[in-house]
Structure 1
Amino acid sequence: MNLSPQHGAAARPRARSTERSLARRAELLAIGRRLFADTSYDALSMDDIARQARVAKGLIYYYFRSKRGYYLAIVQDSVADLVTLAASGLELPAVDRVHRTVDSYLRYAEHNQAAYRTIVSGGVGFDAEVHAIRDSVREAIVATVAEGAYGRPDVAPLVRMGLLAWVCSVEGAALDWIDRPGLSRDTMRELLVRTLGGAMRAIEELDPAYPAPAPARRD
């Protein structure tokens, strides 16, 4: 169906309005990520958020409906960046890609401590949506490590469970690390990569079809 010039002219303002709306939403998410980076959900009221963001409180309600909706959108936005960065570097050797994935994960935990605690601990009380975000991150990290180590993200149940157990241990270790930062991120990364190597060797012993990647020499 061909649009008349009038239809095309009417569509352009709508497109510009949509672009402005998306840009405004993205700006509010960026502001929220800064506000919640080191501040817990309960510590900020909507009045606090609006005042620090220098926007009308109604604008936040317009885009996100509630404080919880705003916070969940911020967490999801932050996690999307984490997963995208962790899954990048396809051109790297397998071991280097694993190092990059772990480093990206630790950087996120270090620079988004309040959001990271919420994701790992499940939020305020039992929050099914936050749990779903946490589970999606776990599966994304498992798939990323599996693809880097074995060349494919779809692995046998035993392999998935071995990698998932490692991811869960990383969560606990990272929580303790940001609460008691006695180790540098480089040292923490090397420790977690080496424990992953141990998990992969255990997987290989139980299923030789999944040999552990040979460790790379790191000068």
Structure 2
Amino acid sequence: MKRSRQRGTTERSQARRAELIATGRKLFADTAYDALSVDDIAQHAGVAKGLIYYYFKSKRGYYLAIVEDSVAELVARAGSDTDLPRGERVRRTVDGYLHYAQHHQAAYRTIVTGGVGSDAEVLAIRDAVREELVATIAEGAYGRRSVPPLARLALIGWLSGVEGVTLDWIAPGTPGPVPPREELGALLVRTLRGTLTVIEEFVPECPAPPPS
């Protein structure tokens, strides 16, 4: 009985923490970091501000938890469907990435641009998610997450281009009609195939997967 109560308490605590993070994602989507105080956050969440400090220690800790939660969701969406053929998995990875950016625009901007100013911890989170996404792409293309340095740099270059394109795609007021996600995804997959072909030229042990 005691163990059951402890498990119930832990589950409630995790649920409350998740609720606070969900609230924070909405708040920081519309309001600048410096414009929100812990009192403001607590008021919007309908809790005492002591609860924010209990779970996250500080406003900055709260913000970092929100960024990390957003990163985890982005990586999970991009890295799903691991049982698919390699070519299809690469396409699904790109589509999952764009789907996340399209439906979580503020969180995506925070992840890609580094969030608040030049916060070193947020930048470290951004760099970590880039490495994870590159590993996900490598696994989809080659069946392994680790690739030689030159191949990794080529994939980082491709991903940096994807970030710039995606930021422009979701930017409010982008001139002209915005292409649908499927069309943009097809374009990015085609450019990735070109990158994989170049990688094969320079790194023969990383052959480009056959078209599918």
Verify same fold: TM over 0.5. Answer: yes
- Aligned pair partner of 2:126 in 125, 131, 134: 134
CA distance in 2, matches of 1:38, 1:110: 16
Question: What is aligned with 1:77?
Answer: 69
Which of 142, 151, 169 aligns to 2:161? It is 169
**1:109 maps to which residue?**
101
- Determine the structure 1 residue equivalent to 2:183: 187
Q: For residues 212 and 40 of structure 1, what CA distance do their matches in structure 2 show? A: 43
Residue correspondences, number: 208
**1:99-134 deviation per Cα after TM superposition (whole angstroms, max 9, x unaligned):** 111111112212222222222112222211111111
Rg: which structure is higher? 1
Distance 1:44 1:64, change over 3 A: same
Q: Secondary structure at the match of 1:135?
A: helix
**Pairs within 5 Å for 1:7-86:** 11-86=3-78
Q: Counterparts of 1:22 and 1:37 in 2: how far apart (Å)?
A: 23
Conservation of the 8 A alpha-carbon contact between 1:82 and 1:105: yes
Q: Which region of structure 1 is more displaced relative to structure 2, 57-66 or 169-178?
A: 57-66
The two structures, once aligned, show a CA RMSD in angstroms of 1.9
Deviation, 1:12, is 4.7
Using the TM superposition, give the Cα deviation of residue 43 of structure 1 relative to its aligned residue in structure 2, in angstroms: 4.5
CA–CA distance in 2 between the matches of 1:102 and 1:212?
17
User: In the alignment, does 2:152 pair up with 1:160?
Assistant: yes
User: Structure 1-normalised TM-score?
Assistant: 0.86
Match for 1:112: what amino acid?
Answer: H
